[in-house]
Amino acid sequence: MFYGLASGEIDTAELGFEHELQGIQELNERAMRGELEVTAVSIHAYAYLTDRYILLPHGASMGEGYGPRLVSRAPMDRDVIRSCTIAIPGELTSAYLALKLWEPAAETVVMPFDEILEAVRDGQIDVGLIIHEGQLTYADEDLVLLEDLGRWWKEETGLPLPLGGNVIRRDLGAELIPRVSDYLRRSIAFSLDHREQAMDYAMGFARGLDRGTADEFVGMYVNQRTLDYGPDGREAVHLFLQRGVEAGILPGPVQVEFAD
């Protein structure tokens, strides 16, 4: 998404952008402390950030009938899953909210997202909730799919599953917010229009993935939907958080606001 900015192809005049690569749980926690002017966050985490941040109308990662996946070493039915401890990548992640909507009784333990597959494979944990490229590579570890929460959500609601979004801090003000937003939108558009160059850049952060798998993963979560949520994407954000409130997972109603 940010290749256009990182490469200098997008002219930002006197504004400078410092790029920091961190896992989504770390970014969620930093946003909770208000440390970052602009950041990716989980849509789940956004529920706790509305006083300080506003959603940008671009930068979304949406699961179009796919999403975080529950995996284990052997098939098991839902009753057995309910009795297992599930490794999750963080309690502020959208994957965790989707899991609790799917199975409110789920017992969980937090692990770094890139250690969950190995923990399940080695028998340290019974079930893992997999995000990022693990959604494509779990079978390489001889693990089996128990449930795709993005598929479940699509069947349940007819909508894509909202996983991540970009937010901007409100105190940047009415003049700077739309300007920064435009730079970020242009960066995403540039990256989509120059996909091979953007992939060359992204491969530097690919955690050992081969080019084909990395390209497939990027195609899942950086696409035309990333340029604009669309009416159904915005509806999905509202419904996802509303369901979280109704289920008692979120403490109260969430005022979803986009920096249009």
**Bridge-partner residues for 55, per DSSP?**
167, 258
**Catalytic site residue from 19, 132, 194, 238:** 132
User: How far is it, in rounded angstroms, from Cα 196 to Cα 73?
Assistant: 36
Beta pairing, strands 38-42 & 161-169: antiparallel
- DSSP assignment, residue 93? S
User: How far is it, in rounded angstroms, from Cα 165 to Cα 12?
Assistant: 22
**Bridge-partner residues for 41, per DSSP?**
165
Q: Which CA distances in Å does 234 have to 74, 99, 186, 187, 244?
A: 37, 20, 20, 21, 16
**Bridge-partner residues for 61, per DSSP?**
164
Active site residue 19: no
Residues designated as active site? 132
